Amino acid sequence: MTSTTTDKTPRLFTPTRVLGAIAQMAAVGVAWAIAFGVLFALLAAGIGLLFAIGIGLIVLLGLVYAMFALAWLETARVDGLYGFGIAPLPARTSGRPGFTGWLRTVWLQFSDGRMWRGIGSAAVSAMLGWATLSLLSIMASGVAMVFTPLVPGDPDTIPLRGAGWDVPAPWAVGVGIIAALVAIAGLIGLAALHGVLTRAILVPSREVQLAAEARTAQAQRGGAVRAADVERTRIERDLHDGVQPRLVSVGMTLGMAQQKIDDDPEAAKQLIAEAHTSTKAAITELRQLARGIHTSILDDRGLDAALSALAARSPIPVQLDSRLTQRCSPQTETAVYYVIAESLTNAAKHSRAAECRVIVRQREGGILWARVEDNGIGGATVVPGGGLDGLSNRVLGVGGTLTVTSPIGGPTTVEVSVPCAY
């Protein structure tokens, strides 16, 4: 199970971080001010055009994702500066197909608390940035005033830029020294304040982290239990509907052969041959059922080899693009394997797909990611107790996420992301 923040609190007031904070605040004081200007312009244009032409909806949609972009940049900037260990800000998605799913995705993104915290941090950084620019101007002007005696001419007053003061020339050196020292102290104070405020805004408290971890652990346990129930039901159904009737048929056929073995040996031989064929078919079904419960090649040779064998057995062509550099935990590899296996089975049985494409990657942050896409008719939905529901619970049980996108008419896309070292 992963946490969004590190347990060890980084030191905020090292010389490197203070200088970095001052430099970044000076930059974002201008950059974020421009960004907020763009956001307010989009808001005004969206509201104005909403009732006039209706194009305002598109503008407001752009506003939502412009806000997300600003929040993402601010979160990445703060984490890169201080090393809080903040997880990257993800784009929200409902995981539902169609227009209603898209509307829900937009709403989830707009109401995302982490995005709004990122916007709040950007606003604070912008205000502190303007204060930083003023102090830098005062510091530079103060340093320049120290060297006033070396400047040709005899001015009556010298302007202290950034403060709006005109300092008499005889006092210029003393005032310049004081102004430079006060500005430096102010810059250090602003850097410290920036670190404290951004941590308070972007980094959840320890209590909030523990509560979130508890909720995640509870959801994972629930997902694992539901996945086990779905798997047990599937095994019982396969045994009851497949292997059991075939074995009963074998027993009946052998009983008939036993009755005819004395009176009609040829008929008995035919019945025994039929029973033999049915027995081999039952063994094949049992082998396939056992492979669905446990795949030995996955343990012995890893996910790459298991997926290659899976693609070779698929009744429809599969383009496999797997680039794995190391083994993940058995729970992770098993979860991803069965997501891909079930997706290929669904594509062959239900979607009328002509081909499938499977992509598997190891992403930054120790995430094993896979995507299965077919060119079928789409329309796949997650039904409680169904195969996709079982996959979703299995993935949830190992701390991952599963997204199914399957609009009517296709294509169907299944994406799974699981921590590699769960």
Asked whether residue 321 falls in the same domain as residue 284, the answer is no
Angle, CA of 356, 360 and 363, to the nearest 5°: 150
> Which pairs from 213-217 meet CB under 8 Å and 24+ separation?
213/1, 213/3, 216/1, 216/399, 217/1
Phi, psi of 397 (to 5 degrees): -65, -20
Asked whether residue 109 falls in the same domain as residue 139, the answer is yes
Cα–Cα distance measured from residue 84 to residue 307, given in angstroms and rounded to the nearest whole number = 38
Least trusted range by pLDDT, from 135-144, 244-253, 288-297: 288-297
At 216, which helix (H) or strand (E)? Answer: helix 206-238
Give the CATH number, domain containing residue 283.
1.20.5
Asked whether residue 65 falls in the same domain as residue 193, the answer is yes
User: Whole domain around residue 28: which residue ranges?
Assistant: 1-204
Asked whether residue 168 falls in the same domain as residue 279, the answer is no
Contact 69, 49 (CB under 8 A): no
Residues of the chain with pLDDT > 90: what percent? 16
Tell me the average pLDDT across 380-398: 73
More confident residue, 203 or 76: 76
More confident residue, 127 or 137: 127
Asked whether residue 190 falls in the same domain as residue 245, the answer is no
What DSSP string runs through 120-150? HHHHHHHHHHHHHHHHHHHHHHHHHHHTGGG
Asked whether residue 172 falls in the same domain as residue 118, the answer is yes
User: Cα-atom radius of gyration of the chain, to the nearest Å?
Assistant: 33
Asked whether residue 239 falls in the same domain as residue 288, the answer is yes
Contacts of 154 (CB under 8 A, 6+ apart): 169
Q: Which pLDDT value is given to residue 294? A: 54
Residue 106 lies in a domain: yes
Q: Which pLDDT value is given to residue 288? A: 60
Residue 336 lies in a domain: yes
Residues of the chain with pLDDT > 70: what percent? 75
Asked whether residue 314 falls in the same domain as residue 411, the answer is yes
Cα–Cα distance measured from residue 69 to residue 124, given in angstroms and rounded to the nearest whole number = 17
Asked whether residue 103 falls in the same domain as residue 248, the answer is no
The answer on pLDDT for 5 being more than 50 is no
Tell me the average pLDDT across 222-232: 59
| Domains identified in the chain, total number | 3
Q: Which pLDDT value is given to residue 67? A: 94
Residue 288 lies in a domain: yes
Residue 149 lies in a domain: yes
What DSSP string runs through 71-110? HHHHHHHHHHHH---PPP-PPP-----HHHHHHHHHHHHH
Q: Of the residues 272, 293, 314, which one is the last residue of a structural domain?
A: 293
**Which residues are paired to 415 by β-bridges?**
371, 403
Q: Of the residues 263, 293, 323, which one is the last residue of a structural domain?
A: 293
Contact 371, 404 (CB under 8 A): no
Contact 279, 252 (CB under 8 A): no
Residue 335 lies in a domain: yes
Give the CATH number, domain containing residue 315.
3.30.565.10
At 178, which helix (H) or strand (E)? Answer: helix 172-202
Tell me the average pLDDT across 350-363: 86
The answer on pLDDT for 306 being more than 60 is yes
Residue 216 lies in a domain: no
Q: Which pLDDT value is given to residue 69? A: 93
Give 364's DSSP letter.
T
More confident residue, 167 or 363: 363
Least trusted range by pLDDT, from 34-48, 82-96, 157-171: 157-171
Asked whether residue 48 falls in the same domain as residue 150, the answer is yes
The answer on pLDDT for 404 being more than 70 is yes
Asked whether residue 371 falls in the same domain as residue 230, the answer is no
Asked whether residue 132 falls in the same domain as residue 264, the answer is no
